[in-house]
Structure 1
Amino acid sequence: MNRIRHTALAMLCLVCLCVSVQAQKQTVKFLSTYDNQQLHFGFLLGINSANFIVKTSPDIASLDSVLSVEPYAQSGFSLGIVSDLRMNQHMNLRFLPTLSFAERGLTYRVRSTKQNAIIEQKKNVESTFLMFPFNVKYRAARLNNYRVYLVAGATYMLDLASQEGADQNLKPEEIFVRIHKSDLLFEVGMGIDFYLEFFKFTPEIKMGFGIPDLLVHEDQIYSQAIRVLRSKMVMFTFYFE
């Protein structure tokens, strides 16, 4: 996750540097009336780093096998549609239906009676999300052919790969962590609009934090070790509008 975040920030800094150099010599304004449109559309492509926020059970010390639980992040990608409604000179309302492929997991430190040792077990969670973000975009004044902005909002997510109702009559090593199908994220981020000759190009970085507890609580050690399980996601997105 840190690698994705550092790469995204480095790319954003590079973009900002290019913009500052370009702003000093740019004289022709592309798409000069673009921001006057009441409604416009586009598409998006992005990469993401999905993870969990874990709060372990206060009773974890009393469990026979599980000693600790740590989340780990994996990278994925997204594609979607942009619909943008102009509210006033500086604010826009955006609806961004997106299909996102994500992966994350949990690492358990478990006491093994067979091996008489402490071992690590990874429980991977793969997800295919239908995401429905509603974001408010607050834009600074345009400078030549770029415009910096902040964005915040909420996203409802439906996990098409959720195994919420799956059978758990399995061997201990095959038992998996089940999560609920629906999720809700609070999002905050920033980006830069670049006005090119024929379209607007926008790189954006955004953080999403899950609100509800995702875990399906059940009578097995991997679930009992966790009190609350929430989503966390870093998204680096390119918009073409």
Structure 2
Amino acid sequence: MRRFIAIIFFLGFFQLGHAQLFSGEAILNNENFDRQRWSWGYFLGFNTYDFNFDYKEYNQNAIGGKDLVVEKGIGFNVGLIGNLKINNNLDLRLEPGVSFNTRGFQVTKADPDTYREVNATYVHIPLLLKFSADRYNNFKPFIVGGLSTSINLSSNENNPDDNYAGQFRMTTHSYYYEVGVGVDLYLYYFKFSPSIRGVFALNDELIRDENPNSIYTGNVKKMSSRGIFLNFTFQ
């Protein structure tokens, strides 16, 4: 599903870019938009999250040496944008939003009862630098990158029950770096910007079970989230 979303995005990107670059369009939409020092907007989009597990020891009895197998899902993003223009090709952006996602994991070759479904609601706050090419007609590609933090409202961090009571626990606060690409399309009434972005956690997000030999957490050295965001921005 993640590859399907990426393919759809880049096909749309190619079609829109082709129309802008080779149509010979002379009329500029929102010609003065980028002269604003401050601009505002909102975004809607989709996400897919994964868990990246680093293990203390390689498990020869597990598939690919992995104790835990992850099942990814598709979620939803929504948020606001504040943009500060630094110069014609550089912007500083704050993009606070909320993301919803469901993913799961299961102990390799274990009983189906070991499956854990993880429902997450994140308050996600990235601070990003946006590097843009010069505008051509109504088309301007960009790359974006920066740091972010999130609050996991479904973390279960302070829950006394662990996996042996059916409760999977994560840290409430996490920190990430983000990189992505996109394109600004200047339409008649607003600027529309589809983009795709990778989001990678920096800290260990796993709360260990009380049992040091837990089949869920005992061999995990570090667990961190990683995800792909497909956002559609309106300014």
Q: What TM-score comes out, normalization by structure 1 length?
A: 0.87
Unaligned runs of 5+ in 1: 113-118
Range with greater deviation from structure 2 (5-14 or 40-49): 5-14
Aligned to 1:203: 194
Aligned to 1:224: 218
Contact residue 110 and residue 121 of structure 1 kept, 8 A: no
- The one of 200, 209, 212 aligned to 2:203: 212
Residues 45-56 of structure 1: matches in 2 within 5 Å?
45-56=44-55
Identity %: 24
Deviation for aligned residue 1:226: 1.5
| CA distance in 2: counterparts of 1:76 and 1:10, whole angstroms | 16
Range with greater deviation from structure 2 (48-57 or 132-141): 48-57
CA distance 1:223–1:130, change in 2 (3 Å): same
CA distance 1:109–1:150, change in 2 (3 Å): same
Aligned to 1:106: 105
- The one of 204, 211, 234 aligned to 2:228: 234
Deviation for aligned residue 1:22: 3.4
Per-residue deviation, residues 59-110 of structure 1 (Å, max 9, x unmatched): 8679xxxx82122211110100010000111000000000111122222125
Contact residue 177 and residue 223 of structure 1 kept, 8 A: no
- 2:11 is matched by which residue type in structure 1? C
Unaligned runs of 5+ in 2: none
| CA distance in 2: counterparts of 1:135 and 1:5, whole angstroms | 25
Aligned to 1:9: 7
Structure 1's consecutive aligned runs of 4 or more residues displaced over 6 angstroms after TM superposition are none
Contact residue 130 and residue 157 of structure 1 kept, 8 A: yes
Deviation for aligned residue 1:19: 2.3
Aligned residues: 227
- 1:166 is matched by which residue type in structure 2? N
| CA distance in 2: counterparts of 1:111 and 1:193, whole angstroms | 48
Per-residue deviation, residues 167-221 of structure 1 (Å, max 9, x unmatched): 3178x4x433211001111100000000001100010000011100001123231
Contact residue 5 and residue 234 of structure 1 kept, 8 A: no
Residues 118-157 of structure 1: matches in 2 within 5 Å?
121-157=114-150
Please state whether the residue corresponding to 2:228 is helix, strand or coil. Answer: strand
Q: Kindly report the root-mean-square deviation, in angstroms, between the aligned alpha carbons of the 2 structures.
A: 2.1
Q: Do structure 1's residue 97 and structure 2's residue 96 form an aligned pair?
A: yes
Q: What TM-score comes out, normalization by structure 2 length?
A: 0.89
